[in-house]
Structure 1
């Protein structure tokens, strides 16, 4: 199974897997039907304060990454989210969806790296 990220605005929607929106706000112009989500993990997204500070300014990305990882470590929702991702990876691909235009400097990139370092998820990804 694979753990990947995808911009929600991508024309060809990948339905081959469990689709999780990892943004705090619903992406503009996307209907809930077209999103074809299995879950919306808004509690796992960066806080409003951090998101507004980052404002998708590339030079701030290293600091954003550090701060977001701290938020994930302190977020009481993180363990359940990691468990759910691991559970889904046992039977299907998991796709983390985000709305940001920048495909290299966004919270989904950080979250993907964070999840890939979790022992339960590492073990499942190694089975490939």
Structure 2
């Protein structure tokens, strides 16, 4: 199972496969045809409360990841996660985000969960 994470502002590449936008809001300054996004499951993003808590510096990345995984276990998010997992089982999937910190944000949590389910 090939799952990778890239910034949505980077030019799409042929090896991206299915491009899944994992942000709740559309990235600023980016035209939809330039992004080449195939899926946009907004329900996979962290809740506004969790996002505010983490960005306010109130907790560690590990605690954020634990709380986010709990949110992803909720029925709607779990169904969307299964959909992306199914796409990844058929071919490469690239999770795209506007976030600058790919290693300590929700993209890394999602990628790890998808890779561990293979």
TM category (shorter chain) comes to: 0.7 to 0.9
Is contact 1:56-1:106 (8 Å) kept?
no
Unaligned runs of 5+ in 2: none
Task: Give the match's secondary structure for 1:40.
Answer: coil
C-alpha RMSD of matched pairs (Å): 2.0
Does structure 1 residue 21 correspond to structure 2 residue 21? yes
| Corresponding position of 1:126 | none
In structure 1, C-alpha distance between the alignment counterparts of 2:70 and 2:115, rounded to whole Å: 16
Residues 2/29 of structure 1: CA separation in 2 closer, same or farther (3 Å cut): same
| Corresponding position of 1:113 | 112
Task: Give the match's secondary structure for 2:20.
Answer: strand
The CA deviation at 1:52 is 1.2
Task: Give the match's secondary structure for 1:54.
Answer: helix
In structure 2, C-alpha distance between the alignment counterparts of 1:2 and 1:34, rounded to whole Å: 23
Task: Give the match's secondary structure for 1:101.
Answer: coil
Relative to the length of structure 2, the TM-score reads 0.86
In structure 2, C-alpha distance between the alignment counterparts of 1:68 and 1:109, rounded to whole Å: 11
Relative to the length of structure 1, the TM-score reads 0.80
Unaligned runs of 5+ in 1: 123-128
The CA deviation at 1:56 is 7.4
The number of equivalent residue pairs is: 117
